[in-house]
Structure 1
Amino acid sequence: MKRFVAVLCAMAFVTFPWSLPAKADTARIMVPASAGGGWDGTARQTILALQQSGLFMGGTQFTNKGGAGGTIGLAEFIRTGKRDDNALMFMGAIMVSSIITSKSPVSLDGTTPLARLTNEYDAVAVPTSSEIRTPADLVEALRKSPGALAVGGGSLGGVDHVALALIAREAGVAAGKLNYIPFPGGGDVVTAVAGGKVKAAISGASELKPLADAGRVRIIAVTGPERLKGIDAPTLKEAGIDVVIGNWRGVVGSPGMSEAAHAAWLERFDKLAAGEVWKQTLERQGWEDAYLSGDAFVAFLTAEKSRWKAILKDVGLAY
């Protein structure tokens, strides 16, 4: 009996591979974009949801490093995060496309894929004083003088840029003639269009909606397959422009992350995705649930590289 009790006591101090400790060291979070944009919001809301769910109770240290579609932040993450079991980077479709268009010397192959989290469709917005009031007006302005229409968005070759190139193609305008102004993050894009520094902007719907609600910009279209909740604007397709494009976002771990840490983070994200806190987060932020983890996410990333290469070549943004 004494031996049995001793064994039980010893077992109390053992962490089994399938257990998930709530307490953890500080998580070092790389956000490869400026503060206030989509990646930044995804990172902070996801970590907050993990903490509120009791799935990660360690501290957090966020680093924002914007520019070049996230590849500057990616390079720093690969350089500084090697074998760090608590280093995470938030990323997405924009980074996949930017790696291709910039011919980046660093790629996602050097990271540990964890999960795809969300999908979000873009909105097309103009200053409230703009004469552009409909998608048809935008197409006409592009057709008439593409160089005179400064359109702000995320990085060159990213989802926002490709969305504009697809719209322009419908107008018979080549991507090379567009006056596209890239910004390091969604927060910068919405500030620029609200201040009239650009004549139109394409960015995440959740980034533009607060300004539209406040009467500072006017959303004229969304890039989803159907209208978005809370936004009084048609889809591009509804307006006769055959364009549907979304922006998924996800998270990867450090290069050389240990198998134990990889399994632990996957378990955290799997439990988060199934929980009520995450459902409420998605609803509050207006994000679409696009959860995919582990090997399925790895396979998805491989397919995305080929898909984006084909799209970018098709619209003339990659060769």
Structure 2
Amino acid sequence: MRTAFIEELCDLAEQEERIWLLCGDLGYSVLERFRDRFPNRYVNVGVAEQNMTGMAAGLAMCGKIVFTYSIANFPVLRCLEQIRNDVCYHRANVKIVAVGGGLAYGAQGYTHHGVEDLAVMRVLPEMTVIAPGDPIETRLATRAIVRHEGPCYLRLGKAGEPTVHLAEPNFEIGKAIKLREGNHITLISIGGMLATVVKAAERLAEDDIQARVLSMHTLTPLDREAVLAAATETGGIITVEEHGVGGLASAVAEVLAAEGCTVPFRALHLPRKPASHAGSQEALRGVHGLSVEGIMTAAKAILG
């Protein structure tokens, strides 16, 4: 995903001179292509995320479209006050990019596990929160947030995420993408879990269970219509996210509760308790049921 992002950003920067990129002394082997092509619009701020966010807000107030880039928690949790007060309060045109969301940096342990970011960012005023499901969605999301006026958060995987879409889908902020039709159950995915969710739906089909698959790439604003359609047209809803409490599951549950929906609902996410060990992303996902088998088990439990 990060490669798709930087390639698309470079193409957009050729057309839009207002685009700037700020980083916190990382991104080597990825960001150089932007730095070399647009040296006057690239700043390595150093390991100073609070300063990076303040500089981005200032540039945005001068009419620039500013991207900040760092890994996992660093562009969010280290500088949350600056995001809240400098960016959101002024509705500044700052696009915060976190690479390695979820458990992508699993081997580095909990300090590098981005598992609270969606919950934190979705409650901030004026903030649009996007977590694309594959490299194609990443390119489309990058284009969309450049056009969007105001603060945005873009959560990416680390590298190597498979391409799920066979063709470029229609991408609109706040509108889910339907990858599979189905009337038995709905699987709602956000971010890098999309490939796993699609595989689970394919496996369920072998057991004559037709699962609708939604890529809910935008968390805020959430596609309420897609959620309510799933609640009335299918026999249950399962949300799947590489994140802790407060993210996609909470957002979907809020919609269902507000509308009085009684559809069976199951949330697959990470527990509130931090992981006490490090490991590969795949292994850590499996521990918490974020696997093809875990999704299938949850679906069959709902359907009896």
TM-score (norm 1): 0.33
TM-score (norm 2): 0.34
Bigger radius of gyration: 1
